[in-house]
Amino acid sequence: MARRRPQQRPELPPGGLLDWRDSSHWSEIPKPCRYCGRLTHLRDSKRSPAHKVCAEAALIRQAAEAAAAYHQNGTL
C-alpha cells in the first residue's frame, strides 16, 4: 500500500499574499489607490492603481464575505 503524502500548501511570497516583485506592477506616474485614495506608483494585475497592502486586505475581506455568505446560505 502506497503512503499518501500530506498535501503541501503553496509558499506565500515574501511580504504577504501577493507577489508584486515583477516590474509590471510599477508605474512612473503616481495615481490614487483604488482602495484608500492615497497616491501610489503600484499597479495591480489589471493595471489599476493599488497599494499591495490595500489589495491584500481587500482579498481577505472578499474571502471572509464569501465564507460568511456560504455559511449563511449554503452556497456562494
The pLDDT score that the predictor gives to residue 69 is 82
More confidently predicted of 10 and 47: 47
Would the pTM count as exceeding 0.75? no
Q: What is the torsion angle, in degrees rounded to the nearest 10, for the CA atoms of residue 55, residue 59, residue 61 and residue 64?
A: -170
Q: Tell me the average pLDDT across 8-34.
A: 80
Of 3-7, 18-22, 49-53, 65-69, where does mean pLDDT reach its minimum? 3-7
Q: Measured between alpha carbons, how far is 60 from 37 in angstroms, rounded to an integer?
A: 19
Q: Measured between alpha carbons, how far is 12 from 10 in angstroms, rounded to an integer?
A: 6
The string of pLDDT tens digits covering residues 28-54 is 999 999 999 999 999 998 999 999 999
